[in-house]
Structure 1
Amino acid sequence: MSLVAAMAALVTVAGAARADQLADIKARGKLICGTLGTVEPFSFQHPQTRQIVGYDVDICQTIADAVGVPLELKTIAVEARIPELTQGRVDILAANLGYTAERGKQIQFSDTYFVSQQKLMTTQESGLTTLDQLAGKKITALKGSSSEQGVRRLIPTAETVTFQDTSSAFLALAQDKVDALCASELILVKLQHQSKVPMVIIAKSLFVEPWGLGMRKDEPAFTDLVNATLTKLAESGALDAIFAKWLGAGTPYNIKRDYAVAPIKD
């Protein structure tokens, strides 16, 4: 074999080794899932046990079970989600990760496991009730989130004010330091129920956002396992059970899953 051919074969073998993340996870003996840990009901600290629980956590647990290894959670900031994944510090993201074309170029998205209505909330006292009224206003969102990107894209005249966590963003709204807060409708409903200041959620969505689990690109075995697991959850009714546990009747949200587990398209 020529030197060039030998080098080419070596590169091919090395590439194949790098591409088998699923085997690496099994060999390591744990699945490391990146999640936010601050966003109820998706991933948040249980008030009694102090453990991170929620919809995203349960979804990641099903992936770990499918791989056949224990789950390790790693809490990460919104803006750190993709860097943590691409630099190999987590294996998968279950972290309120809305699909955008830009993100789709950087990482692999799973099939849809949640669909978020992105809306805006204002104080009742402000009198702001339509999206048109928010032109030129101060709007807050989590730093690095698709909510922030959506505000910048769809209300370009607004002044976007970002925070590292939802509590800080909400406090800014309650203290009239900003005019509106953009987030998932479910997050806003929870905040509205908890608020001592009367709040109004603007009825019209700013945009609708499919969420996927985030994975590194070019990992077909791991990607196929994740998508097959989500499909099995949906077909067996287990996904409805997880959804109902965190978002259904008896919760502050009281909604039903009305979307299919399906590939995310631009």
Structure 2
Amino acid sequence: MKFLCIAVAASAMLLTNMSAASADQLDTIKSAGKIVCGLTVVQPFAYNDSQTREMVGFEVDLCKILAADLKVKMEYKVVSADTRVPELVQGRVDVLDALMSYTKERAKIIDFSNEYIEDGFYFIVHKDSSVTKVEELSDKRISVAKGSLYQVAAERKFPDADVIAFDDGPLAFLAMQQGKVDATVQRSAAAVGLQLRSAAGSPEIRLLDPPLLVQGSGFGVRKGEHRFRDYLNGLLDRLESSGQAQQLWDKWLGKDSDYKLTRNYKVGKPLTE
């Protein structure tokens, strides 16, 4: 009888684990009544408003749109560039809404939706720097955000350079401003924002052409969650066709923002490396 009870208990545990493992995340989110978005702090995509002390930004609004569409409560968790994927895989967030650019290596671990943002990553120097061409950085000091896609890209492009990783993009940018490195790599939108918020008298910046790379970012979901991924792709298509995607762009990056950037991509475009 004792062994029968143990066997029954073991079978029940196995069935429970199998059920949890096979649970559809989209249904799980709806049942829980909330979705937890993983956000990386990069202005204007996600940052704390100095007046309201609330998290705001392009990706924050995108998460709100997602939650409203699912008819669930929106929550968020701040994740760094190098912890984004582990936080998702380990179930501490439901979806990454955190400037996740596609790479083949990442795609082995998580799945990606189509893109909702596209931007160029540039080498950036002081306006009065003697560096005028990207190639001149081949043996220089370059700051990057730790765990970012462009850290790997910079190291591959310039194996003889001293590529120094900081905890986040703003710290990497500050290192360039302070002359601790010769250049930094940043998204063009993030770089413009950091410059706009720099203290009076801070050195002006210059972006070197061509960009190190141009990449789109999409939602990151756990591997195998195809129904959730397909739902997200459908949502992105609806945002583009309804004009809501343009409104989101104009608010944070376009004509209604301090950035005045032009959108040259279509939301819902498939991501490629």
The alignment's TM-score, normalised by the length of structure 1, stands at 0.91
Tell me the CA shift for residue 15 of structure 1. Answer: 6.0
8 A contact 1:33–1:60 mirrored in 2: yes
| Residue in 1 that maps onto 2:234 | 228
Which whole-Å deviations, capped at 9, do the CAs of 1:136-166 have from their partners, x for residues lacking one? Answer: 1111111001121111122222111011122
Matching residue of 2:123 = 120
Letter in 2 for 1:262: K
Larger radius of gyration, structure 1 or 2? 2
Identity, % of aligned positions: 38
Work out whether residues 120 and 180 of structure 1, in 8 Å CA contact, stay in contact via their aligned partners in 2.
yes
Structure 1 unmatched runs, 5+: 1-6
Alignment of 1:253 with 2:251, yes or no, is: no
Structure 2 distance, partners of 1:50, 1:116, is 27
Corresponding residue to 2:189 among 182, 186, 189:
186
Residue 31 of structure 1 corresponds to 35
Within a 5 Å distance, the mapping from 1:31-50 to structure 2 comes to 31-36=35-40, 38-50=41-53
Question: Post-superposition shift, 1:214?
Answer: 0.5
- Give, in angstroms, the shift of residue 223 of structure 1: 1.2
CA contact (8 A) 1:19 1:218 kept: no
Residue 202 of structure 1 aligns to a residue in which SS? strand
Runs of 4+ more than 6 Å apart: none
Structure 1 position 68, deviation (Å): 1.4
**Partner SS, residue 253 of structure 1:** coil
Q: Match for residue 76 of structure 2? A: 73
**Contact between 1:62 and 1:229, CA under 8 Å: does it hold in 2?**
no
CA distance in 2, matches of 1:158, 1:19: 47
In structure 2, the residue matched to 1:262 is 269
What are structure 2's unaligned runs of at least 5 residues?
1-10
- What secondary structure, in the 3-state scheme, does the structure 2 residue paired with 1:233 have? helix
Question: One-letter code of the match for 2:269?
Answer: A
Amino acid at match of 2:36: I
How far 1:194 sits from its partner (Å)? 3.9
The secondary structure found in structure 1 opposite 2:211 is coil
Partner of 2:61: 58
Task: Please give the per-residue CA displacement for 1:4-58, whole angstroms capped at 9, x wherever unaligned.
Answer: xxx9xx87x936862401111111111000001x211100111111111111111
Number of residues of Structure 1 aligned to a counterpart in Structure 2? 257
- Separation in 2 of the partners of 1:20 and 1:265? 26
Aligned alpha-carbon RMSD (Å): 1.9
